Amino acid sequence: MDLYLIRRPSAWADQAELEKTAETSARIGNEEMPDKVRWIRSYVIKERDGRLGTACIYEAVDEDALREHARCVGMPGDDILPIGATVVVRPDPA
């Protein structure tokens, strides 16, 4: 599997809506597509319009698998970028 960044700008109105989507995303990824996609982590972004967006890190067999996963979850999944390398200066803060 390769590593990808998926950007989902202004996709959720609030934290509750995001959490519901995250539960569905984890279930579909873990139960229905475990050999195609692996959700690693997400960063929640406070967008300028007041909504929430995310920058998500996934492992996947290809971009089509990520698009299929997003479609099954019912969330945006078109802004996909392959990650070439990782540079860690400090661990993510808790």
- What single-letter DSSP state applies at residue 13? S
Average pLDDT, the chain: 97
Domain with residues 2-82, CATH architecture? 2-Layer Sandwich (3.30)
pTM of the predicted protein model: 0.92
Dist. CA 74–CA 77, nearest whole Å: 9
The domains of the chain are located at 2-82
User: What stretch of H or E contains 52?
Assistant: strand 52-60
Collect all residues with Cβ–Cβ distance below 8 Å to 58 and sequence separation of at least 6: 3, 4, 6, 37, 38, 39, 40, 66
What pLDDT, in 10s, does the model give residues 45-93?
999 999 999 999 999 999 999 999 999 999 999 999 999 999 999 998 8
